[in-house]
Each structure stands twice: as structure tokens, then as C-alpha cells.
């Protein structure tokens, strides 16, 4: 896959708008075209076929990369890392699995970008627990929810609620807030078109987000599979573990440690321990049901 050349390049922030226009002009593949190209690469190592698969999904990479624009890193580097993830996805993609490459590659793209963000920030603590990683990538989302709910900016008085929701300490929320206080790159940033000097927003250069009918059906089936596996995993837990994990991780409005501490008449730390243990059990069960190539193993395997 490293032999793929002549991909559209994005070398600087100034050239990013030109890069977006270039990849936006690359036509999307039909389901049949994608299947045949993927088969050609999988069975014959056809690099030209792999090249078409990669270039037709560069728009998806740009769209995902823009979601990580508020970490203070050059968007060009985020896109480049996402493209690496996309190439890895193409390398491992099996069209006989029954879903589209876009659905399969999203995880690879996000994983590649997130790994780059973590390494670039040199966050030693972030790599120690899943809760701290969740804090790093979820803090902005939680703050945005608070802003919409109360029509005001987030302040330090909100940090306890944020810490409870994400399962970390207030100190960790304070420290992370300080590190993530850099300016955002707006999707409404105006870029100039070289041809007529007219302005267009960066958002206009991103691909249409509405999924095709095939993608919708594929994602629906994947959701059904995931729901089934989650139900099976929850049966591995005792009643209290299920109740606490559901209250903390699976509800639209998660309960705080204080609330659950009072409900079960145990300490907040004990609630956190039960939640962590239950989550690890579910995570291990799910991982055991997923094969190395991303396929879901049959029941009883």
C-alpha cells in the first residue's frame, strides 16, 4: 500500500482549500465499482484499484479530520494521518463482509488521527486509562452540551458535573480545560476561489454527509449486531453491575457518582470501582467476539 503514489497532497494551511476543491471533484464509487476494485486489490494486489479506492474516500478523511480541529494541530497533518488510516483500511478491507468501505474505514481513520493527536500533545497521563482518553476527546462535546442547555459559557462551577459524567476528577478536568483552551478552526472560515475571487465557506467544500441507501442498510445491520453483542455482554455481569454500568454509560443522561452512592449506600469510589470492573468485563467480551479482521464471530465462538 505504501507504493500508492500521485495522491492529492495537502502541504500547508494555505493550500488546504485548494486540496478540498480537488478531492471534492473526485467522483464517488458505486457499490458495484467499489466491490470490483476491492476484489482486484484483495485477490491480485492491483495497486491501481487500491489507488481508486483511496482517492474516492479522501473526502471522508477530510470530514473526519475537521472534527479534531480544536486540538491546536495543523489540519493538514490531521488529514495526512487520516489518509494513512484510510490506506490501512483499504489494505484490510474484504468486500465480502457485506458493508461499504466508508463504513469499515471510519474506525481506521479516527484511530489514526486520535493516535497522532495524543502523541503530538505528549499526554503521558492520557495513555494510562480509558477514562482519561475519553476526557481528552469528549471534553469539548460535554462543554458544548452545557452551553446549549443553559445558554451560557462553561465555568469552573461546571467542572464537578463534567468530572462525574466522564468518570475523572475535577483536577483532571481543570488541567485538560487549560490544555485545550486554544482557538478553534471554524467550518465557516471563508476561503477564496482562485478563479473568480469570490468567497466560499470551508463547510461548502466538504462532501455531502447524507448516507446512501446501501450505507444506511449496512449501518443498520452493524447496529443490530452491536446491540446483540452488547446484550450478550451484559449477561456476564451481576445485577448491580448492570444497573451501575447502564446508569453511568448507557443512559442519555448519565447519573452522577453522588446519586448512585446514595442509591446503593456505598462510597463514590466503590461505585467507580464497580463501573470500571463492569466496563472491563463488557469490553473483554466484545473484543473476544470480534476477530482480528473486524468480523463478528459466530455465536458460541
* Model confidence pLDDT, tens digit, residues 124-134: 444 455 666 66
How much of the chain exceeds pLDDT 90, in percent?
Answer: 25
* Same structural domain, 197 and 228: no
Last residue of a domain, one of 205, 225, 254: 205
For residue 11, being part of any structural domain is answered with: no
Whether 95 and 134 share a structural domain: no
Last residue of a domain, one of 121, 144, 172: 121
Predicted pLDDT of residue 236: 87
Q: Which domain holds residue 93?
A: 16-121
Instruction: With respect to residue 149, please indicate whether it lies within any of the assigned structural domains.
Output: yes
Per-residue pLDDT, 85: 92
Of residues 164 and 2, more confidence is placed in 164
Query: Do 137 and 162 belong together in one domain?
Result: yes
Put simply, whether the predicted model's pTM sits higher than 0.75 gets the answer no
For residue 253, the model assigns a pLDDT of 79
Residue 273 pLDDT greater than 70, yes or no? yes
Is the pLDDT at 64 greater than 80? The verdict is yes
Residue 127: the pLDDT is 47
In a domain, 296, yes or no: no
Q: Rounded distance, CA 19 to CA 13, Å?
A: 10
pLDDT over 60 (residue 97) = yes
CATH of residue 240: 1.10.10.10
- What pLDDT sits at residue 48? 93
pLDDT at 294: 42
Residue finishing a domain among 121, 147, 180: 121
Structural domain tally of the chain? 3
Highest mean pLDDT among 106-110, 177-181, 225-229: 106-110
Q: What is the pLDDT of residues 152-202, one digit of tens each?
A: 777 888 888 888 887 888 888 887 777 665 444 445 555 544 444 455 555
Same domain? 25 vs 91 = yes
Q: Do residues 249 and 279 both lie within one domain?
A: yes
Give domain status of residue 198, yes or no. Answer: yes
Q: pLDDT band at 59, cuts 50/70/90?
A: very high
Q: Is residue 70 part of a domain?
A: yes
Residues 24 and 108 in one domain: yes
pLDDT band at 123 (very low <50, low <70, confident <90, very high): very low
Are 26 and 105 in a shared domain? yes
Residues 166 and 218 in one domain: no
In 3D space, the residue among 108, 107, 112, 102 whose CA is nearest the CA of residue 78 turns out to be 112
What is the SS3 assignment for 168-225? CCHHHHHHHHHHCCCCCCCCCCEEECCCCCCEEEHHHHCCCCCCCHHHHHHHHHHHHH
Provide the mean pLDDT of the chain.
77
User: Does 182 share its domain with 230?
Assistant: no
Same domain, 135 and 103: no
The answer to whether residue 164 is domain-embedded is: yes
Q: Is 114 found in the same domain as 181?
A: no
Are 278 and 221 within one domain?
A: yes
CATH (domain of 81): 1.20.120.1810
Amino acid at each position: 500500500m505504501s507504493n500508492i503514489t500521485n495522491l492529492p497532497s495537502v502541504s500547508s494551511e494555505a493550500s488546504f482549500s485548494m486540496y478540498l476543491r480537488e478531492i471534492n471533484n473526485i467522483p464517488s464509487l458505486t457499490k458495484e465499482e467499489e466491490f470490483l476494485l476491492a476484489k482486484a486489490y484483495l485477490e491480485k494486489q492491483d495497486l491501481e484499484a487500491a489507488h481508486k479506492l483511496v482517492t474516492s474516500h479522501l473526502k471522508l478523511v477530510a470530514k473526519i479530520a475537521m472534527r479534531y480541529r480544536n486540538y491546536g494541530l495543523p489540519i493538514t497533518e490531521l488529514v495526512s494521518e487520516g489518509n494513512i488510516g484510510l490506506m490501512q483500511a483499504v489494505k484490510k478491507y474484504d468486500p465480502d463482509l457485506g458493508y461499504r468501505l466508508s463504513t469499515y474505514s471510519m474506525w481506521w481513520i479516527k484511530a489514526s488521527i486520535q493516535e497522532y493527536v495524543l502523541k503530538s500533545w505528549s499526554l503521558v497521563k492520557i495513555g494510562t486509562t480509558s477514562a482519561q482518553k475519553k476526557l481528552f476527546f469528549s471534553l469539548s462535546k460535554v462543554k458544548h452540551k452545557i452551553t446549549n442547555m443553559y445558554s451560557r459559557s462553561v465555568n469552573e462551577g461546571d467542572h464537578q458535573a463534567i468530572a462525574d459524567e466522564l468518570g475523572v476528577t475535577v483536577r483532571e478536568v481543570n488541567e485538560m480545560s487549560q490544555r485545550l483552551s486554544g482557538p478553534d478552526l471554524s467550518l465557516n472560515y471563508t476561503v477564496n476561489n482562485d478563479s473568480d475571487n469570490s468567497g466560499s465557506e470551508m463547510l461548502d467544500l466538504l462532501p455531502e454527509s447524507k448516507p446512501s441507501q446501501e450505507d444506511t442498510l449496512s449501518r443498520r445491520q452493524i447496529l443490530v449486531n452491536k446491540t446483540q453483542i452488547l446484550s450478550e455482554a451484559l449477561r456476564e455481569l451481576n445485577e448491580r453491575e448492570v444497573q451501575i454500568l447502564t446508569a453511568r454509560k448507557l443512559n442519555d443522561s448519565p447519573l452522577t457518582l453522588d446519586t448512585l452512592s446514595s442509591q446503593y449506600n456505598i462510597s463514590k469510589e466503590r461505585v467507580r470501582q464497580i463501573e470500571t470492573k463492569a466496563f472491563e468485563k463488557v469490553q473483554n467480551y466484545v473484543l473476544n467476539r470480534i476477530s482480528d479482521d473486524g468480523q463478528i464471530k459466530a455465536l458460541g465462538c
